[in-house]
Amino acid sequence: MLKHPLMRRVLLLMTIGLGWPQSSVMGAEPRTHWAFLPLDQVTVPEVKTADRVRGEIDRFILQRLEEKGLTLSAEATRTAFVRRVFFDLTGLPPSPEETQSYVLDNSPQADEALLNRLLESPHFGERWGRHWLDNAGYVDVQGLDNDAAIISNTENKWLYRDYVISALNRDLPFDRFLLEQLAGDECIDWRNVDQYTDETQRLLVATGFLRNSADDTSANELNRRDVHHQILERTHEVVANNLLGLTLQCCKCHDHKYEPIPQTDYYRWQAFFQPAFNPDKWLQPAARQLPNVSAAEKKRIEAHNSERDQQIAAVRSQIAATKLPYEQRLKELKLSQLPEPIRADTLAAVQAPANQRNEIQKYLASKFEESLKVKPEEVTAILSEDDKHQITERESQIATYAGQKRTFQHWQAVYDAGPVTPTLVLNRGDPLLPGQEVSPGMLSVLENHLANNPADLVAVGDSSGRRRALAKWLTNPESAAGSLVIRVRVNRIWQQLFGRGIVSTTDNFGVTGAQPTHPELLEWLGRAFVADGERLKPFLKRIMSSSTYRQSSVRNDEHSQQVDPDNRLLWKQRVRRLESEAVRDSLLAVSGKLDRSVGGVPVPVEPRPDGSFVVKKEGLATPTSAFRRTVYLLSRRNYHPTLLNVFDQPNLATNCSERSISAVVLQSLTMLNDAFVLEQADAFGDRVLKNGDARDVRIASAFELAFSRQPTTNEAEWCAAAMNREVEFHRQTNPACTDVEAENRAMIRICHTLLNTSEFLVIP
C-alpha cells in the first residue's frame, strides 16, 4: 500500500506536519494547508494551575502535565537561573559581580534586563553561531582530514564562521539568513560590478555554507567523476538534513524504504545545486575559490603589477650592465691562472651546453668550471665606490617598486560553474549508469499550491537562479517546505534550551523519527517564530521568560519519577552538561585568562608525539591568542584538541544536529591531569589568592567564580579541613616551605578540586 504515491504523500504529511496530538496522528485527515495561522487565531489550552503561567508556552506544557497528575517544579534559585541564562545565551559563566548584580536586583524588570543585556552581548553570536555551524557541518579544513599530521587549511574559510556570528549578533531574520547562505551570489550581479562593496563580500562569503563538504579533488588521483558526484551529493544531503530534518541518502539508489520520497525526488532536489557543483564542469578547490576583488579590479591589479615588473626588470638590467665589466675582468683573471695551452679549450668547454660537450670538454669542465665561476660577492668586493652607491640606489628602487605591487586574497564562495547541464537520475546511484533527465523541484511530498515555481524566480546576474528559487521556496512559511523548515528550526532552538527537542530526533522529522511530545506546542512555536519576524533573539526571550524554562532542575518527586521517569513532559528543567567548547571556555573564564576578542583567523592547533592535540603556541597573532574562545580554534573534521575530544566534540564527516553526551573515565582523568587544565587551575588559584588574605574569604571567592554561588556551611567546613590536611602535607614533605606558601598551595589545590566537580560541568 505504501508504494502508492498518494498514500506515501499522506503518510509523510501526517508525520512531519506535526499538527495533531500524538494519540490521533494515524487517524487524522491529511492537511490541505500548511500555513501558520496568526497567533491570535490559535487556541491556547486552559489549565488548572494558572498561577504558574507566565505565557502561552506554560499552558501547553501544563496541559500535558495535568493530564498525568503532574505540575511544574518550583522556580530555580536566582543564582542557578543567572548561571543558566549566561551559559545558554553566551556559553560563558557569569562573573561574581554579574551574579551579585542580578541577585540583588529586586525590581520587576530584573529578568528582562538580564535577558536583554545578554542577547546584545557579542558573545551571543559565538554561542548560537556554534550551534548553527554544527548544523552546517562547518570545518576550517578542505578534505576528509584523515591524517592527523596533515592540516589542509583553506584560505579565508573562517570568514563564513565570522559571517554566521555577525548575522546572529545582528539578529538577521532567519529567512534572510537562509537566502544569503543558499544563494547570496544570486542576489547581486557581482560578476559585472566595478568594485565589491561590504554587501558583496557578505553575500558571497555567506555561500560558504555550501562549501563544508569534504573535497579532496585537489589531488589529481581523486579528481574523478565519481568523487565529483559524491561531493555534490554530500552537499545537498546536508542541506536537506539541516533545514528539513530529513535523510535523503536512501533515495540516491532507490525509492526511500520508509519515507514517501521517490528516487526521482532525490535528483530533482540535487538539480538545485548541480550548476554550482557540476560534475560535468568540475572545479577543483583552488579554481573554485573566488578572488576577493571584482573582475575589473583584478584586471587593474594585474596591469599595475605588470607595469611594476617591467620597471623592476629595467632597473635590474641597469645593475647587470654596471656589474658586467667587473665580471669580465674577474673571468679573465681566473682564466689567466690556468696553463696557457689549455685556456682556450677550457673556456670553450665551460661555455658549451652540458649536453653537447665532448669527452675532453666534459673532463675540462669537471676540473675547472667551478673555479672559473665568478661569485656575486667577488664582484661586489671590487666595485668602485661610485658604482657601489649607484647599485645600492637601484636596489632600493627595486624594493620600492616591489612594495608597490598589489595583492588579493580569495573567498570560499559558491557560484554557478558555467552553463547548466542536465541532471540525470543515476540507476542505483552509479554515475556510469545515467537514466532519465529531471528538472529542479521540491520533494513531491512537500509540494502544494502555495509553493513558488522555480521557473518564476530569476537570479540577478549571470546565474541559473536555481538556488535562489530553492531559498525562496524554503523561506516561504506559506509553503509546505517552508513551514517544515520553521518547525525544524524551532525544535532545535528548544533542544538547546531544554536538552531535548519536542521531536527528540532533531535530524529526522520523517516516518522513522520520534513523535513530538507536545505537537500543539511545536505548532504554536512555529507561529510565534514567524510572528517574531523569524528573529532569534525575541523568540529566545519568549521561551526563557516562561515558567517552564525557569523551573528548578532539582526535584526529588517519587510520583513524578514514576509517571514520567525520562522527564519527557518537562516537570522539571533538565540538567545539561556543558558542550566541549563551553568546558574549555569556562576554564579560561574562571582562571581569568580568557581572551574575549571577536572574529579573525583561526588559532592553530597541532598534534603532539604523545598523541595529544593542543593549541600551537608558536607564531600566534598575539600573546593571548592561545586563550581565545574555542569557536576560534582551527576546526578540523576528525582531529580535535584533546580536552574537546574527551568531552564529545563531534567528528563532522557531514554535519551534527545534536551533540552526544557521554560520561567516561577519560573526562575525569583529563580534568585531573591535563596540562591545560592544570595551568588554568593554577591561574584560578592565583586569582582567588588576590581576593583577600582570610581563608574563608578565599573559599567563598573560589565558589563564586566556579559555581556562581556562595558555599554552604558544610562545603566551607569541608574545604577548610581539606586545606588543613594539605598544609600539613606540605610542611612534612617540604620543611623549607613557609606557612604562607603552604596555605597558598593548598588553596590552589582546592580550586583544582572545584574544577573537577560535576557542578562545574553542568548547566543547572
Give residue 504's pLDDT: 95
- Judge contact between 528 and 27, C-beta under 8 A: no
Look up residue 485 and give its three cell numbers: 523548515
Look up residue 148 and give its three cell numbers: 592527523
Look up residue 725 and give its three cell numbers: 590536611
pLDDT at 10 over 60: no
For residue 386, the one-letter residue type is: D
Confidence of residue 461 (pLDDT cuts 50, 70, 90): confident
Read off the pLDDT of residues 513-525 as tens digits, 9 standing for 90 and up: 999 999 999 999 9
Confidence of residue 735 (pLDDT cuts 50, 70, 90): confident
Alpha helices in 373-461 (DSSP H): 376-382, 385-403
Read off the pLDDT of residues 392-421 as tens digits, 9 standing for 90 and up: 999 999 999 999 999 999 999 999 988 899
User: Which residue did the predictor score with more confidence, 557 or 141?
Assistant: 141
Alpha helices in 252-294 (DSSP H): 263-271, 285-288
DSSP 377: H
Read off the pLDDT of residues 70-119 as tens digits, 9 standing for 90 and up: 999 999 999 999 999 999 999 999 999 999 999 999 999 999 999 999 99
For residue 171, the one-letter residue type is: D
pLDDT at 14 over 90: no
Cell 583544582 sits on residue: 752
pLDDT at 661 over 70: yes
End-to-end Cα spacing for the chain: 49
Which residues contact residue 618 at a Cβ distance below 8 angstroms, ignoring those fewer than 6 apart?
none
DSSP 298: H
Instruction: Compute the C-alpha angle 412/241/33, nearest 5°.
Output: 120
Look up residue 494 and give its three cell numbers: 528548544
Instruction: Compute the C-alpha angle 618/630/499, nearest 5°.
Output: 160
Alpha helices in 18-52 (DSSP H): none
- Judge contact between 458 and 445, C-beta under 8 A: no
Confidence of residue 485 (pLDDT cuts 50, 70, 90): very high
Q: From residue 438, how far is each of 242, 244, 422 by CA, in Å?
A: 24, 21, 8
Give residue 470's pLDDT: 94
Give residue 35's pLDDT: 58
Look up residue 614 and give its three cell numbers: 593542543
- Judge contact between 126 and 165, C-beta under 8 A: yes
Task: Calculate mean pLDDT across residues 276-297.
Answer: 95
- C-alpha R_g of the chain: 33
Give residue 736's pLDDT: 83
Cell 533573539 sits on residue: 537
CA distance 72 to 548: 7
CA distance 145 to 652: 10
Confidence of residue 451 (pLDDT cuts 50, 70, 90): very low
Look up residue 100 and give its three cell numbers: 551579585
CA distance 612 to 590: 24
Cell 560535468 sits on residue: 280
Cell 506554560 sits on residue: 58
User: Environment class of residue 124 by beta-carbon count within 10 Å: exposed (0-12), middle (13-18) or buried (19+)?
Assistant: buried
Confidence of residue 192 (pLDDT cuts 50, 70, 90): very high
CA distance 543 to 40: 18
Read off the pLDDT of residues 232-241 as tens digits, 9 standing for 90 and up: 999 999 999 9
Read off the pLDDT of residues 539-558 as tens digits, 9 standing for 90 and up: 999 999 999 999 999 988 89
Give residue 692's pLDDT: 86
Which residues contact residue 708 at a Cβ distance below 8 angstroms, ignoring those fewer than 6 apart?
79, 82, 83, 86, 93, 94, 96, 99
Give residue 381's pLDDT: 92
- Judge contact between 647 and 665, C-beta under 8 A: no
User: Environment class of residue 57 by beta-carbon count within 10 Å: exposed (0-12), middle (13-18) or buried (19+)?
Assistant: buried
Task: Calculate mean pLDDT across residues 2-31.
Answer: 36
Helix (H, G, I), strand (E, B) or coil at 729: helix
CA distance 184 to 542: 30
Give residue 94's pLDDT: 98
Give residue 25's pLDDT: 26
Give residue 531's pLDDT: 93
Confidence of residue 456 (pLDDT cuts 50, 70, 90): low
Alpha helices in 499-579 (DSSP H): 519-531, 536-544, 547-550, 558-563
CA distance 699 to 694: 9
414 alpha carbon, distance to own chain's centre? 17
Average pLDDT in the chain: 91
Give residue 458's pLDDT: 65
Read off the pLDDT of residues 603-616 as tens digits, 9 standing for 90 and up: 999 999 988 999 99
Look up residue 371 and give its three cell numbers: 673555479
Read off the pLDDT of residues 158-170 as tens digits, 9 standing for 90 and up: 999 999 999 999 9
Q: Which residues of 632-666 are buried (b: 16+ CB within 10 A; e: fewer)?
A: bbbbbbbbbbbbbbbbbbbebebbbbbbeeeeeee
Read off the pLDDT of residues 565-616 as tens digits, 9 standing for 90 and up: 999 999 999 999 999 999 999 999 999 999 999 999 999 999 999 889 999 9
Q: Count of CB atoms within 10 A of residue 357's CB? A: 18
pLDDT at 22 over 50: no
Q: Count of CB atoms within 10 A of residue 397's CB? A: 16
340 alpha carbon, distance to own chain's centre? 75
- Judge contact between 243 and 488, C-beta under 8 A: yes
Give residue 15's pLDDT: 42
Q: Which of 64-73, 587-596, 679-688, 727-736 has the lowest mean pLDDT?
A: 727-736
Give residue 437's pLDDT: 95
- Judge contact between 152 and 183, C-beta under 8 A: no
Confidence of residue 51 (pLDDT cuts 50, 70, 90): confident
For residue 752, the one-letter residue type is: H
Cell 556570528 sits on residue: 165
pLDDT at 23 over 50: no
Q: Count of CB atoms within 10 A of residue 330's CB? A: 18
Confidence of residue 9 (pLDDT cuts 50, 70, 90): very low
Give residue 619's pLDDT: 87
